[in-house]
Amino acid sequence: MPDSAEPATTTRGERPVSVLAEVALDLAVEIGRTSLPIRDVLRITLGEVVTLDRPAGSPADLYVNGKLFARGQIVEAADSGEYAIRITELMAGTG
């Protein structure tokens, strides 16, 4: 008889995806990039504007564990004053 502490298995002996439900993943949102020489980075001051490689209003990229997962719009999260991303496109193979 299986130990009750053991995870449930399917009829083929595989564990269901639900055993992964509590695994934490790193999510990162990128609105653009740039490349600067070290001398320019060292000159950055408060209030400095650093130009990125995308026009304003472009979709932001959502990365999951370093892999592009989706794109979306940056929005304010329900009057909390925090930023959020509204997904507008899922990358192929993600759902």
Q: What is the pLDDT along the chain (95 residues), one digit of tens a residue?
A: 455 555 555 666 677 788 888 999 999 999 999 999 999 999 999 999 999 999 988 999 999 999 999 999 999 888 788 999 999 999 987 65
**What letter does residue 13 receive in the DSSP assignment?**
S
Residue 61, classed as helix, strand or coil, is: strand
Full-model pTM: 0.70
List CB contacts of 51: < 8 A, sequence separation 6 or more.
34
Domains defined for the chain, CATH in brackets = 23-90 (2.30.330.10)
CA separation for the pair 66, 63 (Å, rounded): 5
CA separation for the pair 63, 56 (Å, rounded): 20
